[in-house]
Amino acid sequence: MRWSAFFAVILALALGFASSSMPTPLYPLYQLAWSLPPSALSYIYAGYMFGVLGALLFCGRLADSIGRFRVLLAALCLLLLGLGISALVSSVLPMVFARMIVGFANGLLTTIAGATMLAAHPRGDRRVAAVATSTAMASGFGLGPLIGGSIAELMPQPLRLPYLAMGMIALADLALLLYARRVLDDRTVNTQRAAFKLRPKLTLPHEPGPRRLFLLMSSCIFMMFAIVGLMASLLPSLIHQLGLGSGPSVVGIAFSLLALASVCAQFGMRRLRATHGLLIGLAALLASMAALVACLFYHSPSAFFASMLLAGIGQGLSLMETNLIASHCAEEHHRTTTMASYFTIAYLGGVAPVVAIGLLADYLGLEHAVQLFCLLCALVIVFLALRVSRSKRAREI
């Protein structure tokens, strides 16, 4: 039963991230069906991000009040609600509301991911739990567009069936969670619960050394989310410009390529020391930006695929190692809110490329804006890599 519980938590986290990225190949279909301007897609994306950040800011301590298992159940129920509304809507405002619900559910899942994964693992192995957490996030992020795009291209009702299919998987996972309730329900472990207060609270480690290392890891994950967010936002237009195909499934396949590289990197390098894995991940992110600039400059499909593969490797290793090191820095009694701080900073990184490139593109044009953004990111990553390589505390983990 313990392995069933562990698998159920992995699947729940993967579902959250799959639901977050699944609409990406469907956006051109929404534009055609609803006659949407490009700005409307930004509103849908903003709705999702508001939901995620709302959960991280206001509900980071919810598990301390009602227990991780109840938060997990609530998140899956909200995810089902958001997917159901997404399948039924026919205009922008209800879709923004649905994406906000999905984002809030994913934010709840994210706040308890690491601690629940560790509690569910039969041997309580922190390293395996960290690998499982990052693998679930990366694979879900890549498989969501593949599932959504493939169903949309091959089946009728392309704006409804992808959400219903994802909802069926979520229902199955909900049943598995209820089956494994005795393992996951932590109310019997700690009967003294803190009163829940609906106010934003983010926690940092109290000791100066762990706090500095935690902020360094948070900066690294911020940059990873910014770079992968840039890739995700450019993916549909790059595929069209390079003549690599058309249709929702092509975008989904490109996302799955990124996810496959991410998962392979995590499993292939899971035994490396955390700092070594993180430095390789940062180097891969740096190389992916160089390949992206080459792709834009030479219109090269080879550079595009290299950029995707390198971004996947960088995503997988950066997520796995920063998550592991950040969780080591967190005090046990503030672990949930501390990791909520880590993921809040990460998701803000996901917003950065959309805002920054949008502002830069008004003055420089899109291609030059992307090139300048990549240059700035490269300088920051080199600085962070030097800080990581010199951190004695990080090398001890």
Judge whether 1-186 and 207-397 match in fold: yes
Written as six digits, the tokens of 262 are 């991410």
Q: What is the pLDDT of residues 64-87, one digit of tens each?
A: 788 888 999 999 999 999 999 999
Q: Which CATH architecture has domain 1-186?
A: Up-down Bundle (1.20)
Judge whether residue 208 has pLDDT over 60. yes
Greatest alpha-carbon pair distance for the chain in Å reads 62
CA Rg value for the chain: 20
Distance CA 20, CA 49 (A): 10
Distance CA 201, CA 37 (A): 37
Q: So what's the pLDDT on residue 337?
A: 82
Distance CA 126, CA 117 (A): 9
Average pLDDT over residues 147-161: 93
Q: So what's the pLDDT on residue 375?
A: 93
282 vs 237: which has the higher pLDDT: 282
Residue (of 159, 63, 148, 178) closest to 111 by Cα position:
63
Q: Where are the domains of the chain?
A: 1-186, 207-397
Q: Of all helices (H) and strands (E), which one includes residue 341? A: helix 335-364
Q: How many CB atoms lie within 10 A of CB 295?
A: 23
Cα distance between the two ends of the chain: 31
Q: How many CB atoms lie within 10 A of CB 169?
A: 16
Judge whether residue 195 has pLDDT over 70. no
pLDDT > 90: percent of the chain? 55
Residue the block writes with tokens 């209800």: 94
CATH number of 207-397: 1.20.1250.20
What's CA 106's distance to the chain center, in Å? 9
In our burial notation (b when 16+ CB lie closer than 10 A, e otherwise), range 241-279 reads eeeeeebbbbbbbbbbbbbbbbbebbeebbeeebbebbb
pLDDT > 70: percent of the chain? 95
Angle among Cα 330, 336, 342 to the nearest 5 degrees reads: 65
Q: So what's the pLDDT on residue 325?
A: 94
Residues 6+ apart with CB under 8 A from 180: 1, 2, 4, 5, 8, 120
Q: Are 312 and 200 in contact (CB under 8 A)?
A: no
Judge whether residue 190 has pLDDT over 90. no
Average pLDDT over residues 97-105: 96
Written as six digits, the tokens of 261 are 């590289």
Judge whether residue 115 has pLDDT over 70. yes
Average pLDDT over residues 321-328: 92
Angle among Cα 75, 201, 275 to the nearest 5 degrees reads: 80
Q: What is the pLDDT of residues 252-292, one digit of tens each?
A: 999 889 999 999 999 999 889 999 999 999 999 999 999 99
Secondary structure of 290-313 as H, E, C letters: HHHHHHHHHCCHHHHHHHHHHHHH
The whole-chain average pLDDT of the chain stands at 89
Q: pLDDT-based confidence at 101, cuts 50/70/90? A: very high
Q: So what's the pLDDT on residue 345?
A: 94
Distance CA 320, CA 313 (A): 11
Distance CA 58, CA 30 (A): 32
The one-letter code for the residue type at 101 is: I
Q: So what's the pLDDT on residue 102?
A: 97
Q: Are 285 and 310 in contact (CB under 8 A)?
A: yes
Judge whether residue 189 has pLDDT over 60. no
